[in-house]
Structure 1
Amino acid sequence: MAFREVKALSAADLFEESLEAISAIGSEGYFVMVNHSRKGPEFIQSSYPQEWQTEYDENSYHLKDPAFLWSLAKNGSRRWSEIKLPDPSGVMKKARRFGLIYGAIFSKGFLTKKSVFSVARDDRELTDDEISFLAGWFERYVTACNRKQAFSIKELDVLQCLANDMTVDEAADNLNISASAAKARLKTARDRYGVKTNSWLVASALRSNQID
Structure 2
Amino acid sequence: MTVMLGLDHGLAQLSDLAPRGYALGLHIRFAAAHLMIQTYDPRWTQRYTENGYMLADPMVFWGFGNNGTIRWSEIDLPDPHNIMGQAADFGLKFGIAVTTGPTSSRTIGGFARGDREFTDGEMEKIQALVEKLHEQSTPPDNLTPAQRMALRLIAKGSRHAEAAALLGISESALKARLRAARERLFVRTTAEAIQRAQEYNLL
TM-score (norm 1): 0.79
Amino acid corresponding to residue 97 of structure 1 in structure 2: D
Matched residues in 1 for 2:31 and 2:78: separation?
28
Q: Provide Cα deviations, 1:154-176, integer angstroms capped at 9, x if missing partner.
A: 212123446xx524638827546
Q: 1:13 aligns with which of 1, 5, 8?
A: 5
Q: Which residue is equivalent to 2:48?
A: 56
Q: Which residue is equivalent to 2:57?
A: 65
Matched residues in 1 for 2:158 and 2:35: separation?
21
Q: Which residue is equivalent to 2:118?
A: 126
Q: Provide Cα deviations, 1:134-153, integer angstroms capped at 9, x if missing partner.
A: 11111111111117597443
Greater CA drift, 169-178 or 30-39: 169-178
Matched residues in 2 for 1:138 and 1:49: separation?
21
Structure 2, unmatched stretches of 5+, are none
Query: Kindly tell me: are residues 20 and 160 of structure 1, through their superposed partners in 2, closer, same or farther at Cα, counting changes over 3 Å?
Result: closer
Query: Kindly tell me: are residues 112 and 193 of structure 1, through their superposed partners in 2, closer, same or farther at Cα, counting changes over 3 Å?
Result: closer
Amino acid corresponding to residue 47 of structure 2 in structure 1: E
Matched residues in 1 for 2:34 and 2:199: separation?
13
Matched residues in 2 for 1:17 and 1:68: separation?
25
Identity score, percent: 29
Q: How does 1:66-81 map to 2 (within 5 A)?
A: 66-81=58-73
CA contact (8 A) 1:33 1:41 kept: yes
SS in structure 1 of the partner of residue 137 of structure 2 = helix
Q: What is the total number of aligned residue pairs between the two structures? A: 200
Amino acid corresponding to residue 153 of structure 1 in structure 2: P
Q: Which residue is equivalent to 2:83?
A: 91
Matched residues in 2 for 1:185 and 1:82: separation?
48
SS in structure 2 of the partner of residue 22 of structure 1 = helix
After superposition, the CA RMSD in angstroms is 3.1
TM-score (norm 2): 0.82
